[in-house]
Amino acid sequence: MSVANMSVNMPPSSTTVASMTGFARARGSLGSWSYAWEIKSVNAKGLDLRLKVPPGFDSVEVKARAALSGRLARGSVFANLTARRAEAEGIARVNRAALDKLLAALDDVPLHANLRPASLDGLLAVKGVVEVSEPEDDETARAALDASILAALVAALESLVAAREAEGFALAAVLGARLERIGTLAAEADALPGRQPEAVRQRLAQQVARLLESAEGLDPARLHQEAVLLAVKADVREELDRLTAHVLAGRKLLAQGGSIGRRLDFLAQELSRETNTLCAKSNDPALTAIGLELKIEVEQLREQVQNIE
């Protein structure tokens, strides 16, 4: 049996991050049969198996579906089996009952003077008189063929898994860099001079002073209370803490490996939520600028996470 696409740089590993896209092919032959598997997988929310096998290979389809679902966790998987038997000499048999009925029917037909009596080759050419049957595999031979076809499927499946893990290895490096950048931006936002308590107090004092100068009848004490409430609502301490925590969780997931796509997707959604809240609360131009850059990084992270198994 020959197998295509078997060489990759990384051996399959349960702790490896895998993508959901890949392609593999395996061919083989046994006796007069030749066959080939092609497997392709693309992104999906769950595991969607779509198998196509020739007529007469239903038992192979059942076992192939079990093998694929046992090895893959997510993705739309298209597996196609083609099987072809070499031309073989059929077994010819004269249907004596049909021939006798034909001869009896001819005896009742008066022969015209210009017609010759029916010849044997002419009678044998009549449909149904000669039957040609294809040779059939016995039970043992068919079981050996099914086993050989399933072995080819396993080879193609391992090739597909290895290809998905090789791509996942590269994706994990990209995701790690994205998380690192998000963590760096969160730290920069936390260290902004405009977030220091003294800067916040000064900015609020200036705003209150401008309001008192431009409006008469305002209660200074009440105005100060409202300013304090606004300052509390505008504080992004919790958002920055959660961003940092989510980044750490993402790093742990990448180090853990395996089927982590759904958890990474959820984590990316949480990062997006915290970033949007940070931008909405920001009353400092420098913090807003960092928040917008965070949104770009998080969105790119979310797009790339969609390909992780």
Where do the structural domains in the chain lie, given as residue ranges?
A: 3-88+141-165, 91-133, 167-305
pLDDT band at 295 (very low <50, low <70, confident <90, very high): very high
β-pair partners for 25: 4, 38
131 residue type, one letter: E
Q: What is the pLDDT of residue 139?
A: 86
CATH class of 167-305: mainly alpha
Average pLDDT over residues 211-220: 59
Helix extents (H) in 72-138: 96-107, 120-124
Q: pLDDT tens-digit profile of 54-97?
A: 998 999 999 999 999 999 999 999 999 999 988 655 566 777 78
32 residue type, one letter: S
Q: What is the pLDDT of residue 216?
A: 61
Q: pLDDT tens-digit profile of 247-282?
A: 999 999 999 999 999 999 999 999 999 999 999 888
Question: Pairing between strand 47-52 and 75-85?
Answer: parallel
Q: pLDDT tens-digit profile of 198-214?
A: 666 666 666 656 655 66
pTM of the predicted model as reported, rounded to 2 decimal places: 0.70
Q: pLDDT tens-digit profile of 150-161?
A: 999 999 999 999
Q: Which position has the higher pLDDT, 158 or 229?
A: 158
What would the 3-class secondary structure string for the chain be? CCEECCCCCCCCCCCCECECCEEEEEEEEECCEEEEEEEEEECCCCEEEEEECCCCCHHHHHHHHHHHHHHCCCEEEEEEEEEEECCCCCEEEECHHHHHHHHHHHHCCCCCCCCCCCCHHHHHCCCCCEEEECCCCCHHHHHHHHHHHHHHHHHHHHHHHHHHHHHHHHHHHHHHHHHHHHHHHHHHHHCCHHHCHHHHHHHHHHHHHHHHHHCCCCCHHHHHHHHHHHHHHHCCHHHHHHHHHHHHHHHHHHHHCECCHHHHHHHHHHHHHHHHHHHHHCCCHHHHHHHHHHHHHHHHHHHHHCCEC
Cα gap 272→301, rounded to integer Å: 10
Whether residue 291 has pLDDT greater than 80: yes
Which token pair is 41?
């997988």
Q: What share of the chain in percent tops pLDDT 90?
A: 57
In contact, 175 and 65? CB cutoff 8 Å: no
Q: Report the mean per-residue pLDDT for the chain.
A: 83
Q: What is the pLDDT of residue 113?
A: 61
CATH architecture of 3-88+141-165: 2-Layer Sandwich (3.30)
Which token pair is 71?
């090895």
Q: What is the pLDDT of residue 82?
A: 97
Distances (CA, A) of 60 to 99, 136, 289: 41, 18, 59
Q: pLDDT tens-digit profile of 4-62?
A: 333 333 334 456 899 999 999 999 999 889 999 999 999 999 999 999 999 989 999 99
